Amino acid sequence: MKDIGFIYVLANSSMPNAIKVGKTKRSTAERSQELSGATGLPTPFIVVYEQLFEDCTAAETFIHALLGQKGYRISANREFFNAPVNEVVKAITLAPGAIQGSEALPLANTEEEDELFGEHGQDELDDMTLEIESAVLPASYPWYSLFDEAESQYYGWGDIFQDYAEALRLYSQAAKLGCLAAYQRIGGMHEEGRGTSQNKEKALNFYKEGVRRGNVYCYWRMASLFIDEENFANADKAFSLFLKNQRNELPDEQHRFIFDDSQIALDCGLFLHHHLHYEMELSESLKQVIVERRDAVIYEVLSAVNTLRETNVSDLAEKYQAVVSHLHSI
């Protein structure tokens, strides 16, 4: 029997760091009004996006898992995510069983449970707010403003002109003040020759220093560098160390902040592309990473496929589509 219902995305100006992604078998407007009236929030929820599905429960499970894999879920037992709306919409478009346009059917007016409330329907908003606040990297770190400015210089955000040299200078200052993420950025800039001359040996040294200070993600960057240099034995060691250490309990929010799950997923897609089309061998450790992050890899590779098709790079798009097909088979 079909479990037809909407997946909805709700936002509330009183909760700027969280959006709610859930399901309903009624209209999303009705659900939004219900939640707005049942909580102690001073402002109402608004419907940002909705999509009808043949099996809304399966779709919700898929979307929550995908967003959780990317590190956006605030709490495992809540439907709130600290994620850009466009990322959530992308996840919804990847979920199976969407009903488009005239295919939509009327929904039953049924009651449903919601994870915002406890067993007896009490308001858990105060608890939720605390979780949201603790999920955001605190600005009290002495390097925070330096790193934030370095990111703006590196990416050219807002009205700031892109300036790799200035970004490198700021990342270096942030690293001296204890910023772990700065080591992967500095290493990457030396590896790619951005803001400085390309020097992979220096890049490796920065990754090693990042690892020594507790940046587990630097193991991943080291592995990628070793693959580029066709040093597959060292790459396998680095992947193995990444696998081992990523499961360790992270001591603070800074350690959670350094993981770039999107880049890891993209890299996995690239490695699979080279494996399928250029016979690059995949180590057992790398295979394990790919399997563990399969949904996230599919998400990122599909996004890349869409971009390639939009820019008329059809041959490469088809090769990456083969990567997606391979991922669905494992």
Residue 108 lies in a domain: yes
Query: Looking at the predicted structure, is the pLDDT value of residue 6 above 60?
Result: yes
Query: How does the average pLDDT of the chain come out, rounded?
Result: 82
Number of domains present in the structure of the chain: 1
The pLDDT of residue 206: 96
Q: pLDDT band for position 113 (50/70/90)?
A: very low
- Strand 46-53's sheet: what is its strand order? 46-53, 5-11, 19-24, 80-81
Q: What is the mean pLDDT of residues 273-294?
A: 91
Residue ranges making up the domain that contains 99: 5-135
The pLDDT of residue 85: 78
Nearest to 179 by CA among 202, 135, 209: 209
Q: Kindly report the number of other CB atoms within 10 A of residue 269's CB atom.
A: 25
Q: pLDDT band for position 8 (50/70/90)?
A: very high
Residue 278 lies in a domain: no
Q: Per mean pLDDT, which range of 83-97, 103-117, 294-308 is the poorest? A: 103-117
- To the nearest whole percent, how much of the chain has pLDDT over 90? 39
Q: What is the mean pLDDT of residues 118-147?
A: 47
Query: Looking at the predicted structure, is the pLDDT value of residue 189 above 80?
Result: yes
Q: Which amino acid is at 287?
A: K
Q: Which amino acid is at 31?
A: R
47-79 as b/e: b if 16+ CB within 10 A: bbbbbbbbbbeebbebbbebbebbbbbbbeebb
Structure tokens at 64: 């929550």
Residue 77 lies in a domain: yes
Q: pLDDT band for position 187 (50/70/90)?
A: very high
Of residues 12 and 81, more confidently modeled: 81
Residue 96 lies in a domain: yes
Structure tokens at 43: 């402002």
Nearest to 29 by CA among 44, 47, 50: 47
Q: What is the mean pLDDT of residues 138-158?
A: 81
Residue 225 lies in a domain: no
Query: Looking at the predicted structure, is the pLDDT value of residue 104 above 60?
Result: no
- What digits encode the pLDDT tens for the residues 238-279? 999 998 888 666 556 666 567 678 889 999 999 999 999 888
The pLDDT of residue 105: 41
Query: Looking at the predicted structure, is the pLDDT value of residue 110 above 60?
Result: no
Residue 78 lies in a domain: yes
Structure tokens at 147: 């790193």
Query: Looking at the predicted structure, is the pLDDT value of residue 134 above 60?
Result: no
Of residues 112 and 148, more confidently modeled: 148
Q: What is the mean pLDDT of residues 98-120?
A: 46
Residue 20 lies in a domain: yes
Of residues 88 and 190, more confidently modeled: 190
Helix and strand numbers, DSSP H then E, in the chain:
15, 4
Q: Per mean pLDDT, which range of 3-12, 123-132, 210-219, 247-256 is the poorest? A: 123-132
Q: Per mean pLDDT, which range of 90-104, 226-240, 274-288, 290-304 is the poorest? A: 90-104
Residue 199 lies in a domain: no
Q: Which residues contact 216 (CB under 8 A, 6 or more apart)?
A: 242, 245, 246, 248, 255, 258, 259
Of residues 177 and 53, more confidently modeled: 53
Q: What is the mean pLDDT of residues 70-88?
A: 85
